[in-house]
Structure 1
Amino acid sequence: MKILQGSRIPKANGHYSTAIVSNHLLFVSGQLPISKEGKDYENAEFEEQFNVVFHNLEDILLASSTNFQKVVKVTTYLSDVQYWKQFNALFADFIGKHKPVRTVIIVPELPQGYKLEVEIIAEV
């Protein structure tokens, strides 16, 4: 098992690792709309929050020598069902034709009013 760290990996904000590689799989903790430089997007519109989260995920994948085409599972938490259609469209545009296994869970709220949190598992 290898805990990933480095300039492309957003720092964890608690007692957990952002990303771990184990048995040729990359496990990425839920990413909130906070840039790897620490800029917080809690008041941003949904699309901007989505872009911050997915660019963080992309950086983590690239730091692990993999990409979205190797993502096996995506788990997404949305703070409101109203974001469902927008999430689907943005997700399809961002990752292209690849269709990983995916779960979307609507939750009553996320920390600090964030609109989404996304975790992934990918092959490396």
Structure 2
Amino acid sequence: MAEKIIIATDKAPQAIGTYSQAVKVGSTVYLSGQIPLDPATMQMVSDEFSAQVVQVFDNLTAVCEAAGGSLSDIVKLNIFMTDLSNFATVNEIMERYFSQPYPARAAIGVKQLPKGSLVEMDGVMEI
């Protein structure tokens, strides 16, 4: 089995549970879920959905870069939202961070997310 390398950066929120920000195995990086915490304060960035989405993408960017890649290396993105009516907003903001070819993606409606977040994202990156 390939060696597991733990990815950690102070440019993204520290883990709030028993997990790593990301784990690299071979050329694949498994990104843990990111919620819209400000990495410096570990507080929710805003109550506003679009500001939360931007912070989540910024947090994912920091973890991708710490692993030696970028958002464009994400091949699978999972988006969890407490209100699926925000789907169009996610698409609009995602276009600022990604260009074609887009990663495979799932958008999932959930009842609740950690710390009262409105959105969480995780993914798989191939570098």
Q: Same fold (TM over 0.5)?
A: yes
Question: Once the 2 structures are TM-superposed, how far is the Cα of residue 83 of structure 1 from its aligned partner?
Answer: 0.7
Q: Percent identity?
A: 26
Equivalent position of 1:85 in the other structure: 88
Residue 56 of structure 1 pairs with residue 59 of structure 2: yes
Query: Per the alignment, in what secondary structure is the counterpart of residue 51 of structure 2?
Result: helix
In structure 2, C-alpha distance between the alignment counterparts of 1:48 and 1:112, rounded to whole Å? 16
**Contact 1:9/1:63, CA 8 A, preserved across alignment:** no
Pairing partner for 2:18 from 15, 22, 25: 15
Does residue 1:99 correspond to 2:105, yes or no?
no
**Which amino acid letter does the alignment assign opposite residue 10 of structure 2?**
S
Once the two structures are TM-superposed, the CA of residue 93 in structure 1 deviates from its matched residue by 2.3
How far apart, CA to CA, are the structure 2 residues paired with 1:106 and 1:62? Answer: 28
AA in 2 matched with 1:15: T
Q: 1:7 to 1:111 in 2, by over 3 A?
A: closer
| C-alpha deviation, 1:37, in angstroms | 1.5
Deviation digits for residues 68-119 of structure 1 (CA, Å, limit 9, x no counterpart) = 2211100010000111111111112221223100001001222232110000
Which secondary structure state, in structure 1, belongs to the residue aligned with residue 55 of structure 2? helix
Unaligned runs of 5+ in 2: none
Runs (4+) of structure 1 moved beyond 4 Å? none
Residues in 2 aligned to 1:87 and 1:29: alpha-carbon distance in whole angstroms: 19
Aligned residues: 124
What CA distance in whole angstroms lies between the structure 1 residues aligned with 2:45 and 2:115?
7
Q: Check conservation: 1:76, 1:118, Cα contact below 8 A.
A: yes
Q: Which moved more, 1:62-71 or 1:3-12?
A: 3-12
- Given the two structures, how large is their TM-score scaled by the length of structure 2? 0.89
